[in-house]
């Protein structure tokens, strides 16, 4: 049996073909989408969990090294791992929020794939993370489908990180490929996510069109200019229909982080000064919430930075604010702050004002955010997304007949307006914001494996 697999930055979903149409399968409770999150007692627990409870072994010597070290460290910490200690999706977030300081929590590991400077052991660790999530999803999907799943088409962005970084793209795709093999998939293909979304839109067309697909996901924005319609439907060779692609690692997560930085970090000391009237370094307020950067997270939560934060508190004009930043360090609150920003972003799409309430150990912080504040905060990532739209059209050297917007962040009226302003007088259409990519991947899997 084959499926389309959208291993997304914000959410994951899979779909099978049933009576000629894609059907998304249940992955968590009764939901067809599962957040791309994992929680465990320690970072090292992931490798041990795969080996001990899923009988999933490393594929190479580096993976074996990571596994041996993981087991040894867990023994040193007297952690006797149980199968139920690893949680995924909403359950992972619930576990993290219960005790952030005692839980290893990762959101959107896809954001880290293709990052420059990763050592072999880090690449192997991310492979374990992705494998554990894919294994969980595959088992749940098989329960719903009541069949063994062997083949899959996995969606991938045009560029995982920087533009035209083939080395980064190859590294990321290799991690996905190895993880999928270890999770039990036998035959694996890849397809660009915007192309997959376009295939789903194409199924609704009764005439041929040139369509610009704009997929604004959690981690990346990808654009594909595609000729589509009855002429192309079901063809295995679509090379001539794919006119242009553009993509960059800028997505919904970047909007959340930008909003968190501009609006939620002031109570933690952003904009404050030392007794010598020197501004507090911005990097100390960016790094804890830059949850899609390996380097930023490592720098902020390092032991050496703890000494720096304590020194900044001593020198601060408002030491109570730096005390809160120290709590962010000790309680690992960066993910929680970004989650508050995400909730504000969603609410501000429908309301002019939203109050964020953050519960710390000793106090409750309330920050009011207005719609105009959000517009200002996300201006930079919004402009990057608009440039990708321009780039795809310039590459293709043809104006599209329609713009098909998909991806969770494409719901934002601010981003839809930005795309419309970039290409005025071209109709903007939408389908299932969350499911178009998954459905299109299932359609392409049918072409590949049937």
CATH number at residue 135: 3.30.420.40
Last residue of a domain, one of 345, 363, 387: 345
User: Considering the domain boundaries, does residue 280 fall inside one?
Assistant: yes
Write down which residue in 312, 345, 378 finishes a domain.
345
Q: Phi and psi at residue 245, in whole multiples of 5°?
A: -140, 145
CA–CA distance, 69 with 61 (Å, rounded to integer): 12
Per residue in 332-379, pLDDT tens? Answer: 999 999 999 999 999 998 899 999 999 998 899 999 999 999 999 999
Considering the domain architecture, whether residues 40 and 160 belong to the same structural domain is answered as yes
Asked which of 319, 345, 371 is the last residue of a domain, the reply is 345
Looking at the structure, do residues 156 and 31 belong to the same domain, yes or no?
yes
Residues 175 and 260 in one domain: no
Residue 132 in any domain: the answer is yes
Residues 319, 324, 330: CA angle, nearest 5 degrees: 125
- pLDDT value of position 225: 97
118 in a domain, yes or no? yes
Place of tokens 């930043």: 325
Same-domain check for residues 175 and 269: no
The reply to whether 56 and 137 lie within a common domain is yes
Quick one: 40 and 116 in the same domain? Answer: yes
User: What's the domain range around 14?
Assistant: 2-185
Q: What is the pLDDT of residue 201?
A: 95
Q: How many whole angstroms separate alpha carbon 444 and alpha carbon 450?
A: 10
Is the domain of 151 the same as that of 274?
no
Express each pLDDT in 389-426 by its tens digit: 999 999 999 999 999 999 989 989 899 999 999 999 99
In angstroms, rounded to a whole number, what is the distance separating the alpha carbons of residues 327 and 363?
11
Q: Is residue 364 included in any domain, yes or no? A: no
Over residues 217-261, the pLDDT tens digits come to: 998 999 999 999 999 998 888 999 999 999 998 999 999 999 999
How many domains are there within the chain? 2
Shared domain for 279 and 130, answered yes or no, is no
Could you give the CA distance from residue 44 to residue 262 in angstroms, rounded to a whole number? 34
């Amino acid at each position: 049996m084959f499926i389309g697999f959208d291993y997304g930055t914000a959410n994951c979903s899979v779909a099978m073909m049933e009576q000629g149409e894609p059907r998304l399968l249940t992955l968590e409770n009764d939901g067809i989408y599962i957040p791309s999150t994992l929680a465990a007692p320690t970072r090292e627990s992931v490798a041990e969990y795969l080996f001990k409870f899923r009988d999933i072994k490393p594929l190479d010597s580096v993976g074996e090294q990571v596994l041996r070290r993981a087991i040894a460290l867990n023994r040193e910490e007297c952690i006797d791992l149980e199968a139920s200690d690893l949680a995924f999706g909403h359950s992972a977030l619930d576990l993290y929020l219960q005790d952030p300081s005692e839980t290893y929590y990762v959101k959107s590991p896809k954001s880290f794939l293709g990052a420059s400077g990763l050592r072999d052991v880090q690449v192997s660790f991310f492979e374990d993370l992705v494998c554990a999530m894919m294994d969980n999803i595959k088992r749940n999907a098989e329960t719903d489908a009541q069949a063994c799943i062997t083949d899959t088409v996995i969606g991938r962005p045009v560029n995982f990180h920087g533009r035209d970084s083939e080395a980064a793209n190859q590294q990321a795709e290799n991690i996905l490929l190895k993880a999928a093999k270890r999770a039990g998939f036998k035959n694996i293909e890849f397809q660009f996510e915007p192309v997959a979304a376009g295939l789903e839109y194409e199924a609704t067309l009764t005439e041929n069109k040139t369509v610009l697909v704009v997929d604004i996901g959690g981690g990346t924005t990808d654009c594909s200019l595609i000729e589509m319609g009855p002429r192309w439907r079901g063809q295995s060779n679509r090379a001539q229909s794919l006119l242009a692609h553009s993509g960059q690692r800028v997505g919904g997560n970047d909007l959340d982080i930008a909003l968190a930085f501009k609006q939620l970090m002031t109570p933690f000391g952003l904009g404050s000064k030392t007794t010598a009237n020197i501004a507090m370094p911005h990097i100390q307020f960016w790094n804890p919430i830059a949850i899609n950067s390996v380097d930023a997270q490592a720098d902020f939560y390092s032991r050496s930075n703890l000494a720096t934060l304590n020194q900044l508190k001593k020198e601060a004009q408002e030491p109570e604010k730096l005390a809160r930043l120290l709590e962010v360090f000790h309680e690992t609150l960066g993910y929680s702050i970004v989650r508050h920003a995400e909730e504000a972003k969603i609410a501000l799409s429908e309301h002019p004002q939203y109050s964020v309430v953050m519960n710390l150990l000793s106090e409750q912080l309330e920050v009011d955010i207005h719609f105009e504040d959000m517009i200002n905060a996300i201006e930079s990532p919004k402009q990057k997304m608009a440039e990708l739209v321009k780039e795809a059209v310039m590459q293709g050297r043809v104006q599209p007949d329609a713009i098909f917007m998909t991806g969770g962040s494409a719901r934002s009226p601010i981003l839809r307006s930005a795309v419309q302003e970039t290409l005025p007088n071209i109709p903007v259409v939408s389908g299932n914001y969350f499911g178009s990519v998954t459905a299109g991947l299932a359609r392409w899997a049918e072409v590949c494996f049937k």
